[in-house]
Amino acid sequence: MTDTVNTEIFHWSGLHGLPQFDRIADADFAAAFEAGFAEHEAEIDAIAGNPEVPNFENTIVALEIAGDDLSRVSSLFWNRAGAHTNPDIQALEREIAPKMSRHYSKIGMNAALFARIDQLWERREILGLDLEQSRVLERHWKGFVKSGAKLEKTEQERLAAINERLAGLGARFGQNVLSDEKSWNLLLDSKDDLAGLPDFLLGAMAEAAAQAGHKGKYAVTLSRSIIEPFLSFSESRALREEAFRAWAARGANGGETDNRAIIRETLALRNEKATLLGYPNYAALKLDNTMAKTPDAVNDLLNKVWAKAMERAREEERDLAELAREGGSNHDIMPWDWRFYAEKLRARRFSFSEAELKPYLQLEKIIEACFDVAHRLFGITAREVKGVASYHPDVRTFEIHDRDGALKALFLGDYFARSSKRSGAWMSSFQSQHRLTLKNGQQGEIPIIYNVCNFAKPAEGQAALLSLDDARTLFHEFGHALHGMLSNVCYPSVSGTSVSRDFVELPSQLYEHWLTVPEILTRYALHKDTGQPMPKALLDKVLAARTFNSGFATVEFTSSALVDMAFHTRGPVEDPMAVQAEVLAALGMPQSITMRHASPHFQHVFAGDGYSAGYYSYMWSEVLDADAFAAFEETGNPFDPETARRLADHVYSIGGAVDPEETYKAFRGKLPSPDAMLVKKGLAA
């Protein structure tokens, strides 16, 4: 370690091993990465050059604990790059992303190291490995093969170059979307411009304007927590259209932040990578180790749902058009109209509006509800620790204790939108759970998990209020967090959310169900002014409206997933935007609905590789989560202790230590069909 490296980046000395974020400056990262790369490379060389006969301990376990310093600086850096970035961090991100790729490509193509792993793989049946060890060995062996370990040297060099370029393109794609989001706002102050906007939205828009230096005005921003309610309530069709077009155009505005050329190059490189590795297309490569297994299986599910969703969406559109005509508007329903008339129709059909519901959904109370459900299901308890410095003043720190009072995990919650944070919501970790002995002699580590959301920040002294979708998002991301915090495995590579892409959304989507369990809403949906619980009449209406507008939401999602699959199954794509248009035209995409994520801002797919040929996984997991919650419903108790125990043992704590199909069947006794999911969405009887 050189004198120029801030060792706090590697040796965390805060609460229970938390990083001391206030001691880590942006300028510390470059040197720390170089030191981390060098140390990891030396560790890899030692494993590869070990003169002893390869065994699980001296090869696989050694790999599992190698690179700890690099993992720590990486977790800190990518957190900052996503949740609290700035020009210096963005410049370093563009530099580090390809360096990281180059570093791991070199490891993946280390012939001596792969020879050791390959020997173990060939002898795996006689090594006496338990189930988790077998999964860990398989993960390492397949990972090296997909990294090019079996390719000729010239092919390996080309694959490394492709991966390096893809890493740089992904970093640039995400930065471009954030730049477009930061650079646009719509300032309003006249009475006519503000017509129809409820108090909760006006407060959030006033705060957004003040943060942008326009105190006394109201800002429409491209944060979902502002743009979506604005589209739902603004009486000005012209302003709705202006805001919607800006939202839809992210990443496609021309100039330096335009992502369309990045998409084209990314798809070409991914296709070339798949060909090098012997796959017919990139989707086949990505799906090789998932529950779905093949693109045909994915498309079969998506197309089945598409037909049902379109049928429902057409009915919904006719209802909205009729409502518009009643109000004297004879125009076609366009994307900037749908949410506006849907909100009016919901108010009429179910006698409540989002504005009536929102005062009962205080952020603070919904956080408490998340913790209470986790306590009832899994016996854990959360305790907030005040005064702990984090990467931003808004971030809150919680200790998570198990049934016996022992410290189980640390959880950080980062809930409010800001210009330095990318859009969306996500879970990640600074440290994953495992039980291995580290080089410093420490036995295992507790997970340090964080959630990032983008809720509108209220004015000083006001309660932060959520929409029902916001509240679901909070539960969803906490479901991911629980997957990390409840992990109980030995090896880091199969810890927590280290599972196949189409299984990882099960714990999060399943957790959403408990938000609308009546006893949870009754206890935590308390009015911000009176403290009174949501009236039963309103609660009943909310529950009755759960499938309202489901055609629209499903068409938004499924069209995005089908375009993703088309991009990654067609081979080279000369004009991605033409392919997107072609797919949507073939589907009969209505002009009144757009993709949830148009390709130039489809960060799931292009700002990195996480959900490429994988956006479908939310729906695949939705099939599982509908069936999984039915297990509780069948008992008559949403917190049935025995069902909760099986859920903890076979879903939330097992990580990737067991094949997902097998562990789901251990929980439920069978694999589900899509029928329960279609019923849950209101797309089937």
| Cβ neighbours around 206 below 10 Å, total | 18
Q: How confident is the model at residue 2 (pLDDT cuts 50, 70, 90)?
A: very low
Q: What mean pLDDT value characterizes the chain?
A: 96
Q: Distance between CA atoms of 76 and 598, rounded to whole angstroms?
A: 30
Whether 441 maps to a domain, the answer reads yes
Element housing 587 (H / E): helix 576-587
pLDDT per residue as tens digits for the range 70-122: 999 999 999 999 999 999 999 999 999 999 999 999 999 999 999 999 999 99
- What pLDDT is attached to residue 439? 87
Distance, CA of 528 to CA of 362 (rounded, Å): 7
Token pair 């809150």: residue: 396
Q: Tell me, yes or no, whether 21 and 123 share the same domain.
A: yes
Tally of structural domains, the chain = 3
State pTM to two decimals. Answer: 0.94
Of the three residues 249, 266, 286, the one that is the final residue of a domain is: 249
The answer, yes or no, to whether residue 1 has pLDDT greater than 50, is: no
Q: How many CB atoms lie within 10 A of CB 523?
A: 15
The verdict on 31 and 144 lying in the same domain is yes
| Torsion of Cα atoms, 146 then 151 then 154 then 160, to 10° | 10
Asked whether residue 400 falls in the same domain as residue 521, the answer is yes
- Write out the two tokens for 318: 């006719």
What is the domain-level CATH number for residue 421?
1.10.1370.40
CATH of the domain at 76: 1.20.1050.40
CB-based burial, 648-663: b 16+ in 10 Å, e otherwise: bebbbbbbbbbbbeeb
At which of 249, 265, 288 does a domain end? 249
Tell me the mean pLDDT in the region 487-500.
98
Q: Please indicate, yes or no, whether residues 401 and 465 belong to a single structural domain of this protein.
A: yes
Tokens 């100039």 belong to 255
At 405-430, the pLDDT tens digits run 999 999 999 999 999 999 999 999 99
Is residue 621 predicted with pLDDT exceeding 50? yes
477: annotated active-site residue: yes
Dihedral of CA atoms 482, 483, 489, 493 in degrees, nearest 10, equals -130
Radius of gyration of the chain (CA): 25
**432-448: per-residue pLDDT in tens?**
999 999 988 899 999 99
User: What one-character DSSP code corresponds to residue 251?
Assistant: T
Helix 111-122 × helix 29-48 angle, to 10°:
50
- Note whether 137 and 209 are same-domain residues: no
In a domain, 672, yes or no: no
Instruction: Examine the domain organization and report whether 364 and 450 are in the same domain.
Output: yes
Q: What is the pLDDT of residues 304-345, one digit of tens each?
A: 999 999 999 999 999 999 999 999 999 999 999 999 999 999
Examine the domain organization and report whether 78 and 198 are in the same domain.
no
* 507 occurs within a structural domain: yes
Domain membership of residue 555 (yes or no) is no
β-pair type (443-445, 426-431): unpaired
Does one domain contain both 11 and 145?
Answer: yes
Question: How is residue 41 annotated by DSSP?
Answer: H
Report the distance separating Cα 575 and Cα 562, nearest Å.
17
Share of the chain above pLDDT 90, in %: 96
In a domain, 278, yes or no: no
The pLDDT score that the predictor gives to residue 440 is 85
134-175 tens-digit pLDDT? 999 999 999 999 999 999 999 999 999 999 999 999 999 999
Please, which pLDDT band fits residue 209 given cuts at 50, 70 and 90?
A: very high
Q: Is residue 273 part of a domain?
A: no
471 confidence band (pLDDT: 50, 70, 90): very high
Which residues neighbour 325 within 8 Å (Cβ) at sequence distance 6 or greater?
none
From 233, 249, 265, give the residue that closes a domain: 249
Q: Domain check: are 89 and 228 in the same one? A: no
Residues 497 and 428 both lie in one domain: yes
- Is the domain of 140 the same as that of 218? no
pLDDT of residue 3: 53
Domain containing 209: what range?
Answer: 184-249
What pLDDT was estimated at residue 572?
86
Catalytic residue among 43, 317, 354, 477: 477
Statement to judge: residues 427 and 529 lie in one domain: yes
Residue 37, in any domain of the structure: yes
Residue 351 in any domain: the answer is no
**Run of H or E including 634:** none
